[in-house]
Each structure stands twice: as C-alpha cells, then as structure tokens.
Amino acid sequence: MAQLTTGGSQGYLRIATEEAFSTPELIAAFRDELAAPDPDPGLQSLIGFYLDHPAERPQFIAKALLDLGEGRLADMDARGIDRQILALTAPATNAVHDVDRAAMIAETANDRLAEACRAHPDRFSGMAACAPQDAPRAAREIERAVTKLGLKAVVINSHILGEYLDNPKFSEVLEAAEAMDAPIYLHPNTPPRNMIGPMLEAGLDGAVFGFGVETGMHALRLITSGVFDRFPRLQVIIGHMGEALPFWMYRLDFMHQAGIRANRYEFLKPLKKEKVSNYLKENFYMTNSGVAWEPAIKFTQDVIGKDRVLYAMDYPYQCPAEEVAKLDAMDMSLEDKKMFFQTNAERVFKL
C-alpha cells in the first residue's frame, strides 16, 4: 500500500465525519452506571468491554478516545485524514440517569472539544453534545455550542434511556437544532432493554448489527411520526451507510403507504411528502462510517443523491489505513470522490 498523506495531493482532502472522543467525566459516569444495581444490558455489553477488556483493540480505543492532541493527530497523519469531525462517544449522556450530571458532562465535553478545535483549527471540527433528558437545558446548550463555541452539529446517540426523539418531550431539542441550522448526527446506541435480548444472546447487539437496527428504526420513527413535517428544515445525519435504510427504501415506501391507507396504526398518519423515501432524500445525509465498501457507497449515492453521501472513518473504533486506500481506489470520477471525501462535509458542517 502506498503511503497515505494529508494535504490533498490525490485531488481532494479527506474529511472524516463520525470520529469519537471521550472525557474523564463521561468515563466516571459510565463506571457509576455499570456499578449501580441492574445496569442496562446494552451499556454493560458495550462499555463494559471498551473500558476494561485486556485485548489489544479495546486497550487502544480506550487510550485513543481521550487523546485530543498529538496521538490523535499522528493517527490521522498515518491514515491521510486531513480533518476529523469529532463527537462525544456513544452512548454518551443518553445512558446517564442523573439528569443534572448528564447535562454537566455534555457541557464540559463541549468546552473541552471547542478548546481542541481552537488549538488545531485546520485538523478538528466538532459536534455539540447535550442531554436531551432535560430538553430546555439541551436546547440552550445547543445554542451556546453553535454560537459561542463554534461547534458545527449536534450529536445524539440514538435512544435516550429507551425513549425516542419523536417523543414530544424532546421537541425543544429538535427546534433548537433547526433554528441553529445545525444537523443532528443520530449516532448508534446499543438497543434498549426491551429490544436487546435475542441480539445479546447471539452476540449481535453492538456495531456488528444491533446498532444499525436500533438507529435505523429511530430514524424511521422520526419520519413516520411526522417530525420533518413539524421541523421541515431539520437535517439528520446517519452513519454506517444510512444504517442500511437505502436498501430497504422500496419496501418501506410500499408497506408504509399500505399501512396508512388501511389506517392500521394510531401512530401512522399521512405525511406531507407522502413517501418515506422523500424524507430520506431531503432530510437525511448518510456517511459510510464502518462501511469501506464500494458497492454500498455507490448504491447509496444512486438512490439518495451524490450530494448526500459523506465519508467517515469511525476512529478509533474502526480505523485501518487500508480502508482509506480502498476508498481512494474506488472506480468513481474524481469529481464524485471529491464530493464524497471533502465538499459535501464542507457544506453540511459549514467548514
């Protein structure tokens, strides 16, 4: 494999848009959640593994998550990544039961992230964390993070202790994101207690499959509940090649329409844009985090639009340099590759 370099000599910069970091405050809260009686099985499976497992990969990840300086920059250099768009790692504050503590963790993380972005303005940009459990405070924090700290988006790690963003109690969060013109990155969480059972039993609860199922459903709930009719300018970014939703699109449209015609569910109401796919094409961006796979990327570009598919690495969870080289080598015009790696991210995150 040829040496990967930053600086754009291949014809585009590489901007990675779903890159994770952590804070000591968040780690302390995770430890307290895991020590409490009857901890959440998803948190236990995910964070229990990444905090303390002696294997080489979780040890590397635990260390890399806390590095917002030289170690991270060296890893980016070695992989040819010009810029990371950073977000507080999953499930972040969504799994913290003490609401005040959750909000404090998000606010401190935003301050730390803004400081790193100020120290390395040509390498780091960031997304705001918040604690949706306290929606008015989360809305104020989103406004502070965008206007005062210069953060570019909002990260929400899918379900909030088993609740979903279409619940009207979270309306102020969506309203603030829309008002600030800040996209929401709907990042995965492990499935909640009432969904995780058979996945956990089969070792399929995490990034391997459960993440995509849970987050894909969350994204669909936002559409079918009419969130985008209430907040038409709201934009949501989903990773992992759109959590496989592009591949489902035809059947989603058919069965959703059939369900509405039959008045089958109280939850399902006719939508202004009618089809689920119209919202996927007009209110969503999709990144390829964790999916360094040319056919899936091209399929998504084809059905969602080339201007809506962005590059992401998912550092430090999945970051082989070979994946970057593989994506550079895609059979795709230089113009389209530049949109994928660089210019779509510059537009969406206002870089």
Binding site for Mn ion (CB under 5 A): 18, 314
To the nearest whole angstrom, how small is the minimum distance from the Cβ of residue 240 to Mn ion? 8
Tokens of 215: 């987050």
Residue with structure tokens 């340099």? 321
**HSE toward the beta carbon, residue 132, CA cutoff 13 A:** 30
Beta bridge partners of 286: 238, 309
Whichever of 18 and 178 has its CB closer to Mn ion, that residue is: 18
DSSP state at residue 272: T
314 belongs to the catalytic site: yes
Phi, psi of 36 (to 5 degrees): -70, 155
Residue of 314, 328, 331, 336 marked catalytic: 314
Closest to 213 in 3D by CA, of 240, 193, 235, 253: 240
| Stated length of the chain | 351
First to last CA, the chain: 30
Whichever of 277 and 287 has its CB closer to Mn ion, that residue is: 287
Task: Give the integer Cα–Cα distance in Å for 142 and 150.
Answer: 11
**HSE toward the beta carbon, residue 18, CA cutoff 13 A:** 30
For the chain, strand residue ranges (E) read 15-21, 83-88, 124-128, 153-156, 184-186, 236-238, 284-287, 309-310
**Is the torsion defined by CA of 161, 167, 172, 174 positive or negative?**
positive
To the nearest whole angstrom, how small is the minimum distance from the Cβ of residue 327 to Mn ion? 17
To the nearest whole angstrom, how small is the minimum distance from the Cβ of residue 314 to Mn ion? 5
The residue type found at 53 is H
Whichever of 110 and 289 has its CB closer to Mn ion, that residue is: 289
To the nearest whole angstrom, how small is the minimum distance from the Cβ of residue 151 to Mn ion? 17
The residue sitting closest to Mn ion, measured at its beta carbon, is 314
Closest to 33 in 3D by CA, of 17, 47, 23, 54: 47
**Burial of 258 from C-beta contacts in 10 A (0-12 / 13-18 / 19+):** exposed
To the nearest whole angstrom, how small is the minimum distance from the Cβ of residue 186 to Mn ion? 11
Whichever of 158 and 277 has its CB closer to Mn ion, that residue is: 158
To the nearest whole angstrom, how small is the minimum distance from the Cβ of residue 34 to Mn ion? 20
Whichever of 84 and 224 has its CB closer to Mn ion, that residue is: 84
Whichever of 21 and 228 has its CB closer to Mn ion, that residue is: 21
Active site (catalytic) residues: 314
